[in-house]
Amino acid sequence: MPWLLFLLCVAGGVLVLGTDAPGAVPGGFGSGRLLVFGYRLAWYLACTALLLWLVNTSRSRLPDRTVHGIVGSLCLVATVGGLIGMAWPHLAFTSPVEAVLPHGLRSNAFVGSLVHPEVADVQQVLGRAEARPKAPFAFTNTWGSVLALSTVYVVAWAGGRGRAARVGVAALLLVALVPAVHSLNRGLWACLLLGALAGTALALRRGRGRHLLVGAVVVGLVGLVLLGPLVSIVGERLAHQHSNERRGSLAATTISSVTSGSPIIGFGSTRDVQGSFASIAGGSRPDCPACGVPPLGTQGHLWLVLFSQGWLGVALFLSTLACALARCWRCRTTNETLATVVLAMFAVQLFVYDTLGLPLLMVAIAVGLVAREQRGSRPLGALRTGRQLRERLRTAAPATVALVALGAAGAAVAAHPAAPRDQATRVHVALTLPPDPYSVPAVTDLVESRTLPRRELRMTLDTEAALLLSERTLSNAAATLGTQDPGVTVPLLRDSIGLAAEPHTQILLVTARAGSAAASRARALAVVDSYLATRRSYVSERRNDLLARLRQDLRRVLPWDQSSQVLIGRLTSADARVRATPDDVGRVVAVDPARTVPGDLAVRTTSGAALGLLVGAGLTAVRRRRTHAYEGGSR
């Protein structure tokens, strides 16, 4: 039941795809976002269909060993792909699907990564170019996730085979360690270590300590010969933990955005971050792809579920995994042991890998094997046959549908849908960097030789944003609006202003919201005009202060002669020329037409419907338990 409710939450996310998320780039709803949503929904449905099919397929028709072998073969595929990625890291080509897709879809970063095959990502994780293999998958982390999970399956397959099969699998795992280490994938290393610990504990539990000792000695000897050089790579990677801060910041922003914007149902899919964690004008560059920030809801499947389906989706998703683990944690059979280790690895990967796809499918297979094995000894709970599931839905449908409708209607009324929706106008402001007196050629040599201290007139788009939202700027803007926008105050004006920037430019994007298009345009232009005037005054004051400091520095380090007088004269002349052209501080280059701001009606209505669905499912479960208890007592 938790998984079925989760699927309904995923499907309901289509209703909030057009909603703007706090901290994300506004707008952007179109075919690309809808396509990505459909792709993810299709994977969830595929995992569900495969699990139900496996549960209802007899073990005589599809033996467990056959399933272990099929899934375990992915370990061989990932190993070969990893070796190819190491040997030819720049190998890439245009796939037939990519050739026929429209440019608008190919330009979507997520879609492009799926349809443009590459064998490795060349990144500078250790300060030098390193090939991180990923063939035949779209992402390096997907490659690592599949390699880790398939290792469990291939070991389970070898457990019921002869010595030749076990030796072959051991050789495969040793070879797989080479691309695994070169992938610099810490999540993969953690999963492999977890699997090794689980195998050790299982061997000791079953009294196979002697076999474990012999295996450890053989692996150690082979490892000293073949894997010795890889130890230094592991040490280097553990010393370069540069992605931890970015992952932590992305997770914190994801949690904050969904909690403040749509805590119950999420936003349906991922969103691009506005700017970067370092600057509102930050972003990726061809020479530095890592300078950009991954979309909100990525870098971990848990964060995808949270951002896309909200806290309700997280609760349902984790409840499903907990129910599955409760079936198999005793590890009484091969399938239970396999599922326990797979679920443990998956729990580790949830925080760092985007596991939607083949990894989640492998987890569904493990859960399905256990459910099929236990089918004769206990009821299947949520894993019902089609007829039982239809009967249960038919019984619960009337009350549940009524509660869903009631929740959606109540939320819609609370959202005041009849109120007019805000309009937003965006103004593009091109800023001119103020001249720095210390950059004058006559002074540059003294600064570079450290004869003079460096005093920068440093202004970034982040400091510009603070200046634009300052009390001085907004007070002047509110006074300018006057009767044109009655009732406007500085706090109201500050709340209605949004700031962004074009990546790696000096173009500031100022957005103002108001009840009408005319009012939003007036607010935006008034704030921008006041900001430019404030900036002009600030730059002038700051430049004069720097010039005075420079004169003091020159008096301390230079003899008071004709040369110093000439130097100060040049600086004064340059400053006067700049002050004579005050418009150079910046200008408006474009004003976008007003657009309707997406309201929270979709979020509130969908959240209300989701809560109604949850209540309906809970009441149905309670009613069913009481019915069973009554029938049991009657007997």
pLDDT in tens, 137-187: 888 889 999 999 999 999 999 887 888 888 888 889 888 888 888 888 888
* 587 close to 429: Cβ distance less than 8 angstroms: yes
Residue 108 has φ and ψ, to the nearest 5°, of -65, 125
Residue 599 to residues 261, 412, 420, 421, 596, Cα–Cα distance (Å): 11, 11, 10, 7, 9
Distance of alpha carbon 122 from alpha carbon 132, whole angstroms: 6
* 104 close to 173: Cβ distance less than 8 angstroms: no
Q: Is the pLDDT of residue 447 over 70?
A: no
* 317 close to 277: Cβ distance less than 8 angstroms: no
pLDDT digits (tens, 9 = 90+) for 363-413: 999 999 999 998 755 444 444 455 665 666 666 667 777 777 777 777 767
In 3D space, the residue among 499, 532, 492 whose CA is nearest the CA of residue 514 turns out to be: 492
Give Cα 604 distance to the centre of its chain.
24
Q: Is the pLDDT of residue 209 over 60?
A: no
- Give the per-residue pLDDT at 225: 45
pLDDT digits (tens, 9 = 90+) for 293-336: 788 888 889 999 999 999 999 999 999 999 999 999 888 898 99
pLDDT, average across residues 191-214: 70
At 192 the three-state DSSP class reads helix
**Around Cβ 99, how many Cβ atoms within 10 Å?**
9
Query: Can you list the positions of beta strands (E) in 462-573?
Result: 497-501, 507-514
For residue 624 the two structure tokens come to 């069913």
Distance of alpha carbon 187 from alpha carbon 148, whole angstroms: 9
**Around Cβ 427, how many Cβ atoms within 10 Å?**
21
pLDDT band for position 206 (50/70/90)? low
Helix, strand, coil: what percent of the chain each, to 5?
65, 5, 25
For residue 399 the two structure tokens come to 């009350």
For residue 216 the two structure tokens come to 């450890």
DSSP class of residue 352 equals T
Distance of alpha carbon 373 from alpha carbon 55, whole angstroms: 8
DSSP class of residue 214 equals H
At 461 the three-state DSSP class reads helix
* 262 close to 271: Cβ distance less than 8 angstroms: no
- Regarding pTM above 0.85, the answer is no
| pLDDT, the chain, mean | 78
Give Cα 529 distance to the centre of its chain.
37
pLDDT digits (tens, 9 = 90+) for 66-86: 999 999 999 999 999 999 998
Distance of alpha carbon 87 from alpha carbon 83, whole angstroms: 6
Q: Number of helices and strands (H, E) in the chain?
A: 23, 7
Residue 126 has φ and ψ, to the nearest 5°, of -100, 20
Higher pLDDT, 3 or 160: 3
* Dihedral sign from CA coordinates of 22, 350, 17, 613: negative
